Amino acid sequence: MNIAILGAPGCVGRTIIKRLLDSSQHKIIASYRIEEEIPKDIQNDRLIWKQVNLLNQSNAENFLQGSEILIYLIHSLGAKNFAELDIRLANSAGNAARQVGINKIIYLGGIVPDSRNVSPHLISRMKTGQALASHGIPVAEVRASILLATCSVSYLIVYFLAKRLPVMITPRWLNSLCAPIALEDAASFLAALIPRDINGHEVFEIGSDIVRYRELLSLCGKAIRGVGNIIIPVPLFAVHLSSLWIQLITRVPNSVGVALAEGLKSDTIPSKNRFREVTGRDPIPVQSVLKQLAEEMRKK
């Protein structure tokens, strides 16, 4: 089977490519925009890197031609107009997929809280899935909370805050719940959906242990130094101030920090965790993942 991956050079893309090369015989057509994006450490006879401009319809169709399944991983969070751009890119991909006869789209998005206070970032993730599904192709939309991996921006924010601030003052909304999951588990889940029949637009929510964001910070600190962080919540802590704080401590750009900080205000936990249903096993416990990642970070 030929599997096209859009957003392939990113953290998730590289992980799913390695997973598929190790565990299947599928041929992979992976996207890139500029040659500098192509990972030098992933080489295989079954992997082809192709340049693509999704906003050019004929170019997008040419990229997808001959593939049966599309794995869609694009997220333009760093762009100023990311919400608008996400929808344009998804519609272009969906239309091109319909034109060339793609059988199924597998899309990795985010868990959308059942709340009025949903961040623009998470709304954009939901609308991207809707846009992909609006072109008549079956869509398996995987919704996850925080992805834990040394290449994940969300994890790196948690890691550097926990490492550099043993005692920290945090917004009270860090009491919100999340369900982090190892990126390797998320990649396994995406791979498990390749042979699965999908009807219409089907949503799969996944996650590991449910914890509060402040607990995640403390657990990460414990994995790093053996002792959890002391966290002091305060009632007034603006999102903009939080993003500047994140940028100062972690070097994550302010625009990304704002979008991610806004998402912390709401619970992002699965209403129905479908990980075991699809993979036949439970995800790796959060504490085990954090310990493993802290060890990997020490070696960098």
pLDDT in tens, 124-141: 999 999 999 999 999 999
Could you tell me which residues come within 8 angstroms of residue 39 by beta carbon, excluding any fewer than 6 positions away? 9, 14
DSSP 248: H
| pLDDT for position 259 | 59
Evaluate whether 182 touches 289 at the Cβ level (below 8 Å). yes
Per the DSSP assignment, residues forming a β-bridge with 177 are 212
The DSSP symbol for 101 reads T
pLDDT at residue number 90: 97
In whole angstroms, what separates CA 135 from the centre of its chain? 23
pLDDT-derived band of residue 115, with 50, 70 and 90 as boundaries?
low
Burial of 287 (0-12, 13-18, 19+ CB in 10 A): middle
Q: Which domains does the chain have, with CATH numbers?
A: 2-147+181-208+267-283 (3.40.50.720)
The residue-averaged pLDDT of 18-40 equals: 94
Whole-prediction pTM:
0.93
Q: By C-alpha distance, which of 213, 217, 211, 144 is closest to 183?
A: 144
